[in-house]
Amino acid sequence: MSDAKIIVHGGAGTIRPRLWAAYREGAHVAACIGQQVLNRGGSALEAVIEAVVNMEDNPVFNCGTGSCLTLDGRVECDAFVMTNDMRIGAVSIVTNVKNPVRLARIVMDHTVHHVIAGESTNRLADAHGIEKIDPHALIVDRRRRRWQEMMDRGLEFMVDPELEASDDPADLTDEDAMDTVGACAVDKEGNVAVAGSTGGIMLKYPGRIGDTPMPGAGNYAGPSGAVACTGHGEAIMRVCLAKYCYDLLEQGVPVAEATSRSIAHLTDKVNGFAGLIAIDSAGNRAWATSTPNIPVGVAEGAVDISNGQQPA
């Protein structure tokens, strides 16, 4: 029997001090929901999905309701699930599903494929009773205001990750584009799972697919543990960040060292802006980031940290 534990993150970037409490508390609540699933004997997969569903429904986070907007002002979501037996399900360019992570599990459990994208996600949702929603209901006012401000200032998708890490207050609004949310867990039977969901990065080109639904890039799980990444997806994909971290866990590297070494690798290779969380098969947890902030949640208590590598 294993020590059933979960860890979640709410994105990586810059969070204004007045909003930090909402991100921090949201991550803690999501972790508590996942831990409750584990405590009653639920699987690691069920735990990470329920934690991510909670964040998809929380307009604070950039996933589901509250997602960032594409260049043409729409919401396009990605989501991912994976378990230690190498089962994978992912969806991309999802426009009107309330909880994309639930649809990712449908891909895992009911298709022979790993990733389904675009209009076909609607057909899959209808076939399996996954809740649909008016696409406009996924857009919250502060994201719309942020999108309009960035359009008015002539900003572009590739510029924004650098602005997120800027020290110049003139570069920052009251809230800045956050990326993926994610959760990693191990259950009492020793099973491991990861789940992630995202609205991408503000002003992304319509149809852009980020790191979240790409196995080994934004997320990965196996017998040795699970890893969930967040940040600038283009940088994460270039180094397959989640798999890089997982490989360290598989080699027996302690989880805190694995996360910090992975972020150092990202910075060294592509100077990327990203963070990640990880859990090993024994339930040890850690996180690291190259961005100013990463809201991390564990059930034992709210985590108050920014810009560090700390074991949970």
pLDDT values of the chain reduced to their tens digit, one per residue, 312 residues: 568 999 999 999 888 788 889 999 999 999 999 999 999 999 999 999 999 999 999 999 999 999 999 999 999 999 999 999 999 999 999 999 999 999 999 999 999 999 999 999 999 999 999 999 999 999 999 899 989 998 998 887 754 443 443 334 344 444 454 568 999 999 999 999 999 999 998 899 999 999 999 999 999 999 999 999 999 999 999 999 999 999 999 999 999 999 999 999 999 999 999 999 999 999 999 999 998 889 999 999 867 654 443 434
**Is-contact 98 131, C-beta < 8 A?**
yes
Predicted TM-score (pTM) of this structure: 0.93
Is 285 a domain residue? yes
CB count within 10 Å of CB 234 equals 18
For position 17, what pLDDT does the model report? 82
Sign of the torsion formed by the C-alpha atoms of 103, 106, 108 and 110 = negative
The pLDDT of residue 173: 44
Provide the domain count of the chain: 1
Q: How far is CA 219 from the centre of its chain?
A: 8
153: left (phi over 0), alpha (psi -120 to 50) or beta: alpha
CATH classification at residue 96: 3.60.20.30
- Domain assignment of residue 149, yes or no: yes
Distance in angstroms (rounded) separating the CA atoms of residues 302 and 259 = 20
Residue 227 maps to a domain:
yes
Can you give the pLDDT at residue 13?
84
d(CA 245, CA 225): 10
Within-domain flag for 73? yes
For residues 187-223, one letter each, b for 16 or more C-beta atoms within 10 angstroms of the residue's C-beta and e for the rest, the string is bbebbbbbbbbbbbbbbbeeebbbbbbbbbbbbbbbe
State the Cα–Cα distance between residues 101 and 24, nearest whole angstrom: 21
- In a domain, residue 312? The reply is no
The burial of 93, by beta-carbon neighbours within 10 Å (0-12 exposed, 13-18 middle, 19 or more buried), is given as buried
Q: Give the Å distances, CA to CA, from 136 to 76, 91, 162.
A: 11, 20, 28
180 included as an active-site residue: yes
**Partners of 286 in beta bridges:** 278, 311
- Which secondary-structure segment (H or E) carries 123? helix 120-127
Q: Which residue's structure tokens are 């909003």?
A: 19
Which residues span the domain enclosing 250?
Answer: 5-303
- pLDDT, residue 168, reads 42
The pLDDT value recorded for residue 305 is 59
**How many angstroms separate the CA atoms of 73 and 143, rounded?**
10
Please name which of 245, 233, 283 lies closest in space to residue 47, comparing C-alpha atoms. Answer: 283
Q: Which candidate, 87, 92, 54, places its Cα nearest to that of 70?
A: 92
310 part of a folded domain: no
List 65, 95, 180, 291, catalytic entry: 180
- Is 311 a member of any domain? no
DSSP state of 142: H
